Amino acid sequence: GQSLEQPSEVTAVEGAIVQINCTYQTSGFYGLSWYQQHDGGAPTFLSYNALDGLEETGRFSSFLSRSDSYGYLLLQELQMKDSASYFCASPGVAGNMLTFGGGTRLMVKP
């Protein structure tokens, strides 16, 4: 089996930097993905890490440390529109279905 743990809520102010952590326990490891979901909307893909290190995509970056079974999503220059839920996800077996963490609700305040 596999499980991914995330904080349930994070609050930050506009313009700040926030880090959302994800720790995982999986029978195998085939990469860590991040998805964003606005209230009432569908999850959308943000990033994927297969190897250790930092992947940067604009204001969003994702980090992975396989030795620590840990990853995080870093959001810079926060904007109000970044208020959403963020999910980490991983397949337990190569090419298999994704298991999602419980999600972190990010609230950005003015």
Partner 1 sequence: GAGVSQSPSNKVTEKGKDVELRCDPISGHTALYWYRQSLGQGLEFLIYFQGNSAPDKSGLPSDRFSAERTGGSVSTLTIQRTQQEDSAVYLCASSLDGSNSPLHFGNGTRLTVT
Can you give the binding site for partner 1, defined by CB under 8 A? 30-31, 33, 35, 41-45, 48, 50, 87, 91, 94-103
Considering the complex, state which of residue 48 and residue 70 has its C-beta at the smaller distance from partner 1. 48
Q: Give 82 or 85: the residue with its C-beta nearer to partner 1.
A: 85
CB of residue 40 vs partner 1: minimum separation in angstroms? 9
CA distances from 90 to 16, 95, 106, 108 (A): 28, 10, 21, 26
State the nearest-atom distance from the C-beta of 106 to partner 1, in Å: 14
DSSP state of 96: S
Q: By the 8 A CB rule, do 22 and 6 touch?
A: yes
* Least distance CB 17 / partner 1 (angstroms): 25
Give the nearer residue to partner 1 in terms of CB position, either 80 or 93.
93
Q: Which is nearer to partner 1, 39 or 81 (CB)?
A: 39
- Shortest Å distance, C-beta 15 to partner 1: 27
81 phi, psi to nearest 5 deg: -70, -10
99 bridge partner residues: 90
- Residue 51 makes CB contacts below 8 A (sequence gap 6+) with 64, 66
